[in-house]
Amino acid sequence: MKTPTMRLDRLLGSLGYGSRRDIAALARLGAITLDGRELTDASARIAVTPDLPARMTVDGAPVDPPPGVVILLNKPLGVTCSHKEAGPLVYDLLPTRWRARDPAISTVGRLDKETSGLLLMTDDGDLLHRIISPKRHVAKVYRATLARPLNGSEGALFASGQLMLEGDDKPLKPAELEVISPTEARLSVTEGRYHMVRRMFAAAGNHVEALHRERLGGLALPADLAAGSWRLLGPDEVTTIFDGAT
């Protein structure tokens, strides 16, 4: 496959470094290097490869990753998966310049404000839709802390494929429950309905006090990734998301 190329000013503009005029000024100042050599012509065409941050610098710092980023974020409580809502947003946890990237970075599905844990973000629209597509059956695994002890009927209810949530017009697909303690459970679901896990436990007569997403498909949230922290995923890690999916 032929390596794509872009004009330097267009590439850096799409990564949020400024207008074409801004990029041209940086180039004239010798602030952009590629493989150790200064790039003074902002119209020069650059091969856009995944290793670009190891080869190009802007103002002495590695250039931001080119389009195709997949971000693994440990979402903390109290932040919202939105571009527009008031209050702290998940996008505030990323470098400020990344808000100006084109294509834009979006969350892969959403976690509500009071749910923590594994959240993916990407500018790859095709990948995003593959992950959230109902046809893929990518499992999402949550750990729930409950207000009251489990009564023992929840596992069969959630696995039945017949549970109808209030306001919905079709039953839920079967989900798998693992009991951790009398008031803690791990739930694996393959759908992404609004406040789904909370509503499932409510239908079983309980209330979720805390909810944390631990896994998406074959990808687990690393134990050493602190709340509010993130890192980029490599291609092999992205592939694990679809482990076990159909």
Which residues participate in catalysis according to the annotation? 112
Sign of CA dihedral 53, 54, 55, 56: positive
- CA–CA separation, 56 vs 43, rounded Å? 16
